[in-house]
Amino acid sequence: MKIFVDADACPVKDIIIEEAAKRELEVTLVTSISHFSLQEHPAGVETIYVDNDSEAADYRIMKLAGKNDLIITQDYGLASLALAKGCAVMHHKGFMYTNKNIDDLLQTRYLSAQARKAGQRTKGPKAFTKDDKALFREKFIKLLETK
């Protein structure tokens, strides 16, 4: 199993890298060139830079990922594509995307977009907390131990 991270806005990259390294799992961070960094990562971690198009990271991840790989993303569209490819997909808040919940998530996203286009205000995501980070670590470790 390889781990692919939609890394532009991922607040748990450090946890993913740390826990994957303990298990000698490969991690690929896919991010736009506007997030270029000279930060060194441990062996087994690769950073792939893509252009700034909004879907560029998604396309690259889908090109690289194979069945049974793990993808970490907050993007419902990418999650949907990855599930269809046979990947496991996890949100940075620790929940798993499944074939049972993805349709509802996509529908909610669509309805929110329609409401914004109509001039309505919609709630954004809640702020990411230390508790969210701890929950992600717990769920991520549990997932890695079952794979």
* Residue spans of alpha helices (H) in 29-129: 56-64, 76-84, 102-117
What one-letter code names the amino acid at 34? S
Instruction: Using alpha carbons only, give the angle 79, 84, 85 rounded to the nearest 5 degrees.
Output: 95
CA distances 91 to 8, 10, 134, Å, are: 14, 9, 13
Q: What is the pLDDT of residues 106-135, one digit of tens each?
A: 787 667 778 778 887 777 678 899 999 999
Fold topology of 3-98+129-146: Rossmann fold (3.40.50)
Annotated domain spans of the chain:
3-98+129-146
Q: Looking up tokens 């194979």, which residue turns up? A: 66
Q: What is the pLDDT of residues 47-105, one digit of tens each?
A: 999 999 889 999 999 999 999 999 999 998 999 999 999 999 999 999 999 988 887 77
Q: What is the pTM of this model?
A: 0.87
